[in-house]
C-alpha cells in the first residue's frame, strides 16, 4: 500500500490521472453540497476550479523536473536561477480579472457566470501546461473539464429538481400580496428561512421577492411553483 502511494506521488501518467480525477471528485462533492442548497457556486464550478488548481500544481512540479533533469545543463549554462513556476502564477492571477468580468448579478438576485469564469481560469491553466509541453496532463485535464461543462449540467439539473432547498423569484401586483404568497408557500409544507423584497419603486417594475425555502418532504419543485402561480396577485414566478 505504501509503495503504491509512493508511486502515485511521482510525476507519471498514472499519478497525473489519479490526481485529476480526485480533484474533480472531491471538488464536485463540495460543490454538490453547495448546489443542493442553491448557492451561486455549485457542482460544476467547484469541479472546474479544483481541476485547474491541481493542474497548476502539477505544472510547477513538471517545470521543476525539467530544470533539474532535461534542461539542467542548459539552465546551468545560461545561469537560470528564477523559479519558472512564478511566470504561470502571474498568468493565473491576471486571468482572474477577466473571469470577474463574466460574473453578474441579475435583477432576480441570481449570480450568473461563475462556471464561465471557472472555465476561463481553467483554460488559462491548460494553456500554461500546453506551453510547457506537459501533453499527457493537459489532455487528461481537457477531457475532464469538458465532461464538467458539457455532460454534467443535465445531471446537475436532475439532482436539483428534487433538492430540499430552492429559491423562488416572484413578481406580484402590490406589497399587500406578500402575506398571501407566504401563506400559500407555507401551505406546501415548507419552511421559509429568507425573504428578499424589492419594492420596485426605483426601477419602475412590479414589486418582487426572492424566497429561500426548504421543503420538509422531497417533492417536485414544479408542484410548489404551480401552487403559488394560482394566486391572482402573482404576475411571474420562477425558480432561481
CB–CB of 122/51 below 8 Å? Answer: yes
Higher pLDDT, 158 or 14: 14
pTM recorded for the entire structure: 0.63
pLDDT over 70 at 144, yes or no: yes
Query: What's the grid cell of residue 64?
Result: 521543476
Domains of the chain: 2-160 (no CATH), 165-239 (3.30.70.260)
CB–CB of 70/98 below 8 Å? Answer: no
22-41 mean pLDDT: 75
102-120 mean pLDDT: 71
Query: What's the grid cell of residue 190?
Result: 415548507
What band does 211 get if pLDDT is binned at 50, 70 and 90?
confident
Give 66-70's long-range contacts (Cβ < 8 A, gap of 24+). Answer: 66/132
For the stretch 150-168, pLDDT in tens is: 777 777 777 766 677 888 8
66-93 mean pLDDT: 68
Distance CA 9, CA 135 (A): 19
What band does 129 get if pLDDT is binned at 50, 70 and 90?
confident
**Percent of the chain having pLDDT more than 70?**
75
| Nearby residues of 65 by Cβ (< 8 Å), 6 or more positions away | 11
SS percent in the chain: helix, strand, coil, step 5: 60, 15, 25
The alpha carbon of 15 is separated from its chain's Cα centroid by a whole number of angstroms, namely: 25
- Residues belonging to the chain: 240
Residue 210, H or E segment: strand 208-215
Angle 237-114-130 from CA coordinates, rounded to 5°: 150
Distance CA 13, CA 72 (A): 22
What band does 80 get if pLDDT is binned at 50, 70 and 90?
low
**Percent of the chain having pLDDT more than 90?**
0
Complete edge-to-edge strand list for the sheet that includes strand 165-172: 190-198, 208-215, 165-172, 234-239
pLDDT over 80 at 225, yes or no: yes
What band does 199 get if pLDDT is binned at 50, 70 and 90?
confident
Return the minimum-mean-pLDDT range out of 7-11, 58-62, 104-108, 140-144: 104-108
3-state secondary structure of 209: strand
Amino acid at each position: 500500500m505504501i509503495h503504491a502511494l509512493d508511486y502515485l506521488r511521482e510525476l507519471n501518467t498514472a499519478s497525473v490521472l489519479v490526481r485529476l480525477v480526485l480533484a474533480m471528485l472531491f471538488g464536485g462533492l463540495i460543490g454538490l453540497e453547495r448546489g443542493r442548497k442553491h448557492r451561486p457556486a455549485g457542482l460544476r464550478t467547484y469541479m472546474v476550479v479544483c481541476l485547474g488548481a491541481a493542474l497548476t500544481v502539477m505544472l510547477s512540479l513538471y517545470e521543476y523536473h525539467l530544470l533539474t533533469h532535461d534542461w539542467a545543463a542548459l539552465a546551468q549554462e545560461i545561469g537560470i536561477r528564477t523559479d519558472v513556476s512564478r511566470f504561470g502564477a502571474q498568468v493565473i492571477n491576471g486571468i482572474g480579472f477577466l473571469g470577474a468580468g463574466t460574473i453578474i448579478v441579475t435583477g432576480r438576485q441570481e449570480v450568473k457566470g461563475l462556471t464561465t469564469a471557472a472555465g476561463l481560469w481553467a483554460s488559462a491553466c491548460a494553456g500554461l501546461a500546453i506551453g510547457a509541453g506537459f501533453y499527457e496532463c493537459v489532455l487528461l485535464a481537457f477531457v475532464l473539464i469538458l465532461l464538467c461543462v458539457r455532460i454534467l449540467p443535465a445531471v446537475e439539473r436532475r439532482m436539483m429538481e428534487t433538492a430540499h432547498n430552492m429559491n423562488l423569484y416572484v413578481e406580484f401586483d402590490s406589497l399587500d400580496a406578500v402575506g398571501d404568497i407566504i401563506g400559500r408557500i407555507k401551505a406546501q409544507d415548507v419552511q421559509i428561512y429568507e425573504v428578499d423584497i424589492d419594492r420596485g419603486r426605483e426601477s419602475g417594475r412590479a414589486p418582487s421577492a426572492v424566497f429561500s425555502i426548504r421543503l420538509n418532504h422531497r417533492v417536485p419543485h414544479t408542484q410548489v411553483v404551480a401552487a403559488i402561480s394560482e394566486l391572482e396577485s402573482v404576475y411571474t414566478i420562477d425558480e432561481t
